[in-house]
Amino acid sequence: MRIIVTGGAGFLGRHLCAKMLSLGHEVLCVDNLLTGRRENIEEFEQNSAFRFFLHDVTTPFVLDGPVNAVVHMACPASPPDYLRYPIQTLEVGTIGTRNMLELARAKGARFLLTSTSEVYGDPTVNPQSEEYWGNVNPIGPRSVYDESKRASEALTMAYRRAHGLDTRIARIFNTYGPWMRPDDGRVISNFVMQALQGKELTIYGDGSQTRSFCYVTDLVEGLVRMLLAESDSGAAGASGSEWGINYPVNLGNPREEKVVDVARIITQMTGSSSPVKFHPLPTDDPKLRCPDISRARRLLRWEPIVSLEEGLTAVIKYFRKCLGS
C-alpha cells in the first residue's frame, strides 16, 4: 500500500510510519513540524519506501500517482500544545481534515481519522463506549482541541454519507511510549522527566482522577488493524450494536490508574526521591476517562497486552537517553 500519514513526525505518527514501513508499505509523511519533530523520522529518511513532505495540510496537498490510504493524524495533541496553538489546532481539524478527505476522495483512497477520547469531554458515564455523545464545553479553552476533533468526525461521517468514502475513525485514549516529547506536558512525560531530574512531580488536582494509559505499540497495532480491516458493505445506515468498521472505534487501555498512583510507581521505578506537589486542576480537566473497548475487541480482535510497568520501563530508558544520563 502507498499511504499518506499526516502528522507523521509526531509521537504517534512516527510509530505508525515505522510500523507500516516494517510491513512493507510505502509511507508519505506530511508534517509542518509545528509540534512534530524531524528527529522522530530521521532513521526512515534513507529508506526508499519513505518520503517526508514539509507541508501544512490546511493548504491542499497535491501529489502525483496513486494513494491507497490517507491517515490523518496531524494535530497538536497535548494540552500545552493546543493551548499554545489554539487557532492552528482548530484549523487542522477543520480545514485540514476537509483537505485530506478531498485528497482521499480524489485518489479513491481509504481515510483513517485519528480522533480522541477528548470528544467525550468530562464524561458522565464510565467507561465510555462509542455510543456516548460526550460532555464537552464548546467555548472553554480546551474546546480548540475537543471541538476540532468533533468537527473532524462530523466531516468524516459526512464524506462517508455523501460520497461513500471508505472512512474509519479511531478514538485514541492516553498513549505513551518512547519518542514522546519530554516537554509535551502529558502526565507520564512530566512525571518521568521530573523524577529523572530530581524535580517535584506535579499533580493537578488531588491526583484521585483516573487515566488509562496505553502503550504505544499496542495502540499502533490497533490503528494498523483499523486501517487494514475490510470495509463493511453499506453500514452507514446501521445503528446500535450493528455499527461497523466505518463508525468510531475506541483504542486505549481500559486499565484505570489514579494519577497519584502513577506518580508513585514512576518514583519507585526511577529510584527517584522527588516529592509530589499538588496544583489546582485546569479548567474542564476530565475527572475520569476510561475506554470501553468492546468494539475494538469484536471488530479488530484487538486489546492491549503491554503492562504499565513494561511500558514505563521503556519510557524511562528512552528519557534517560534523551537526558544523556
Active site members: 145
Residue 240, interface with a copy of itself (CB under 8 A)? no
Q: Which stretch binds a copy of itself (CB under 8 A): 10-18, 154-162, 195-203, 302-310?
A: 154-162
Note whether 136 binds a copy of itself by CB under 8 A.
yes
Task: Please report whether residue 158 would count as binding a copy of itself according to CB under 8 A.
Answer: yes
CB atoms within 10 A of CB 152: 26
Here the cell at position 185 is: 506536558
Whichever of 62 and 139 has its CB closer to a copy of itself, that residue is: 139
Closest CB 79 distance from a copy of itself, rounded Å: 15
Q: Are strands 167-172 and 175-176 parallel, antiparallel or unpaired?
A: unpaired
Looking at 4, 27, 90, 316, which residue binds a copy of itself (CB under 8 A)? 90
215-100-148 Cα angle (round to 5):
65
Applying CB under 8 A, among 98, 110, 186, 295 the residue interacting with a copy of itself is: 98
Sole binder of a copy of itself in the list 57, 73, 119, 180 (CB under 8 A)? 119
* 116 strand-pairing partners: 172
Q: How far is the CB of 226 from a copy of itself (least distance, A)?
A: 16
Rg (CA), the chain: 19
> At 211, is the secondary structure helix, strand, or coil?
strand
Q: Is 134 exposed, middle or buried (0-12, 13-18, 19+ CB in 10 A)?
A: middle
**Closest C-alpha among 180, 175, 195 to residue 277:** 195
**Where along the sequence are the contacts to a copy of itself (CB under 8 A)?**
86-87, 90-91, 94-95, 98, 119, 121, 133-141, 143-144, 146-148, 150-151, 153-155, 157-159, 161-162, 169, 247-248
